[in-house]
Amino acid sequence: MAARLMMHYPGEVTCDAETYEKCRLPDSYFEVLVTKAMKGLKNVGKIRKFVGFLKDEKIEAKPIKHSDYPILGRIYACNV
């Protein structure tokens, strides 16, 4: 899908509906584009272009704790 989007919308930062929903950014950051037929893909859905945000605008991001995402395959000294 990403390769098709790059081919059909050159020079644009685009995403499909699923990526748009999962990014959880406001709708004002995106512009809906005309959907083009793409080889090998059926029911492409809405394609959106990322138009950005204001330079002085801050995006609130939830901090990630390292304990939420342990490194797999590591033996920690506290577990020995």
- List pLDDT tens digits, range 17-73: 888 888 888 888 899 988 777 777 777 788 899 988 766 666 665 555 555 555 666
Q: What is the pLDDT of residues 52-66, one digit of tens each?
A: 876 666 666 555 555
Q: CA 72, CA 74: separation in Å to the nearest integer?
A: 6
Q: What is the pTM of this model?
A: 0.60
Query: In sequence order, what E strands does 4-66 have?
Result: 14-15, 30-33, 47-50
Give the chain's count of helices (H) and strands (E).
2, 3
Domain boundaries, the chain: 1-53
pLDDT the model gives residue 31: 92
**Cβ atoms of residues 10 and 49 within 8 Å:** no
